[in-house]
Amino acid sequence: MKKNYFSACVVLFISVATTFAQVNFNNGGGTHQWSNTSNWSGGALPSATDIVEVNGAVAYIDTNTSQTIHLLQNSTDRTTNHYFGSPPNASDPNTSSTGTITININDPNDPGSGVINNPTNYAIHQQSTSKTNFVFDGNITINNSAGKGRSILRVSGNSDNQLIFRRLSVLNLVGGSNTIAYAANSTAKIKFNGTITGNKNLLIGQGTTSFGSTADNSAHSGNIQFLAGANVTVTEETVDYQPVFINGSTLSIGDSNTNVSLTLNALNTVQGGATLKILNNNTLNLYVNKSQNGFGVLDFNKSSSNGTLNLDMASGTAIQFADSSLEDWGSGTVNITSFVSGSKVKFGANGNGISAAQLAKITTTPGPGPNEVLSIDSNGWLKFESTLGVENHNAFEFTVYPNPAKDVLKINTQQQLQKVEIADLLGRTVLTQQNVSKSVDVSLLSKGVYIIKLTSEKGISTKKIIKE
């Protein structure tokens, strides 16, 4: 009886204490096929708890069968590029391997505390000290079924290393946690040129990340989030294929990070009304080199955010956002650079797409002229509008003080005023007084920039005022 009790305890211990063994693909059988047991050290296929190491001399693995493993990696001394699914000489293959390699990083012993540098959460690790590439054409599923921390696609070692998902690759993100793509060196590269599917979020961390002309995540229901140090580019189309970078989901800047860069070099890469969300006090540097008409709401996470969107517009480009509200923007601000040579920005379907208070949070380079203000036309496009009008909008001299004003705005003029009107920058009249004295109560106005219009027997004069 004692012996049986002891045996049961041993079995129980083994069942909860997972160990991970390393197996090597050495192509000993010469077929390059994953399913060939003679290609593996020990003469057996890897198991769900195995770490798969690719022998340094092996360039190509035909992933012709479906299998679950724990981790796919190369060691620090590897000098050969590794291709999964298609041979290395097939730069744009027409077919790829039919099998699916599932990487299940389910480690019950992992506390999940490590976000980036937690080896127990590595799913694919490119760590060669010599410049090498991990290249995928087949089907890869990342499944962190335990939901511990984040599944990690990590590039380390040489600063020029690359992790590449080519045109025929399918990266499926499922399980209990999100997946982060991260380079330990800021110059290392991660390239997504294939299809992304699944329902877990893709987090882009430090490094240079690109989405190529054949990238397609139209079937991906998760969001894409940019973390600290992310430098992301959507490349120019090089083939007859319309990239879909985001389709009806959310692009977000999170984790209390700053100075994330996103460059859009392909036309309309953002699809399906994707929300652009800038969380916390983060900054997104958005470079628009080709026009984009598929964005949804610009969202600074309501009142909790002091985020900043630095929007750099190339000559002749346009970007369109959907209708938003003051609540969406909170304390967020928009800085538009290179707002010249036909570049256009649209905030909503019409002149009601954003409020005057939101408009006051927008700055442009170059800014308005001395007799101009930023405004929104009836179609929602941002523009400069003259405050002088066609005739007699400087019919007489006047000054106002204090400006900015909090409660009462005083008017200094020699004229007997017949009417005072105050309009927001969208052209909507928000206050009117007839036969007024030379002071106006503005305490009920929202903070922002306004135009005050004075009417006397000599005509009409206007000025820009600020309500604080």
Same domain, 325 and 407: no
In-domain check, residue 220: yes
**Residue 290 is part of which domain span?**
2-335
Nearest to 251 by CA among 235, 239, 262: 262
In-domain check, residue 119: yes
Among residues 302, 335, 368, the one where a domain terminates is 335
Q: Where are the beta strands (DSSP E) in 27-161?
A: 50-54, 60-61, 67-69, 71-73, 82-84, 100-104, 122-126, 133-136, 139-144, 151-155
Same domain, 442 and 327: no
Same domain, 405 and 331: no
- Res 362: pLDDT: 92
Answer yes or no: is pLDDT of 92 > 90.
no
Domain count for the chain, please give it: 2
Q: What is the pLDDT of residues 169-212, one digit of tens each?
A: 999 999 888 888 988 888 899 999 999 999 999 999 888 999 98
383-392 long-range contacts, Cβ below 8 Å, gap at least 24? 387/451, 387/462, 387/463, 387/464, 388/462, 389/460, 389/462, 392/459, 392/460
In-domain check, residue 357: no
Q: What is the pLDDT of residues 318-377, one digit of tens each?
A: 999 999 988 889 889 999 988 876 789 999 988 888 888 888 889 998 888 777 778 888
In-domain check, residue 12: yes
| Residue 270 binned pLDDT confidence (cut-offs 50, 70, 90) | confident
- Res 87: pLDDT: 79
Answer yes or no: is pLDDT of 390 > 50.
no
> What residue has token string 């106002």?
400
Answer yes or no: is pLDDT of 9 > 60.
no
Nearest to 312 by CA among 290, 334, 338: 338
What is the token pair recorded at 162? 């690359």
Percent of the chain with pLDDT over 90: 36
pTM flag (> 0.85): no
Bridge-based pairing state of the strands 408-412 and 439-441: antiparallel
Same domain, 113 and 249: yes
Give SS3 for 450. Answer: strand
Same domain, 136 and 40: yes
Measured between alpha carbons, how far is residue 133 from residues 73, 166, 197 in Å? 11, 12, 23
What is the rounded average pLDDT for all residues in the chain? Answer: 83
- Res 94: pLDDT: 65
**What span, in angstroms and rounded, lies between the C-alpha atoms of 123 and 68?**
12
Same domain, 440 and 294: no
Asked if 312 and 291 touch (Cβ cutoff 8 Å), the reply is no
Among residues 308, 335, 362, the one where a domain terminates is 335
Measured between alpha carbons, how far is residue 242 from residues 136, 263, 429 in Å? 21, 17, 45
In-domain check, residue 178: yes
Give SS3 for 42. Answer: helix
What is the token pair recorded at 364? 């442009």
Q: What is the pLDDT of residues 414-441, one digit of tens each?
A: 888 988 999 887 777 889 888 777 889 9
**What span, in angstroms and rounded, lies between the C-alpha atoms of 181 and 178?**
10
Asked if 275 and 251 touch (Cβ cutoff 8 Å), the reply is yes
Same domain, 138 and 277: yes
In-domain check, residue 365: no
In-domain check, residue 433: yes
In-domain check, residue 361: no
Residue 426 sits in a domain whose CATH number is 2.60.40.1930
Answer yes or no: is pLDDT of 85 > 60.
yes
Q: Greater confidence, 286 or 447?
A: 286
- Res 304: pLDDT: 63
Same domain, 451 and 314: no
Q: What is the pLDDT of residues 14-42, one digit of tens each?
A: 334 457 889 999 999 999 999 999 999 98
What is the token pair recorded at 107? 């480690």
- Res 115: pLDDT: 53
**What span, in angstroms and rounded, lies between the C-alpha atoms of 317 and 327?**
28
Among residues 335, 356, 386, the one where a domain terminates is 335
Same domain, 33 and 152: yes
Same domain, 312 and 411: no
Mean pLDDT of 226-232: 87
> What residue has token string 């040129």?
193
> Worst-scoring range by mean pLDDT, 12-21, 231-240, 252-261?
12-21
Q: What is the pLDDT of residues 99-141, one digit of tens each?
A: 999 999 876 555 554 456 677 788 999 998 889 899 998 899 9
Give SS3 for 19. Answer: coil
Same domain, 26 and 120: yes
Same domain, 324 and 409: no
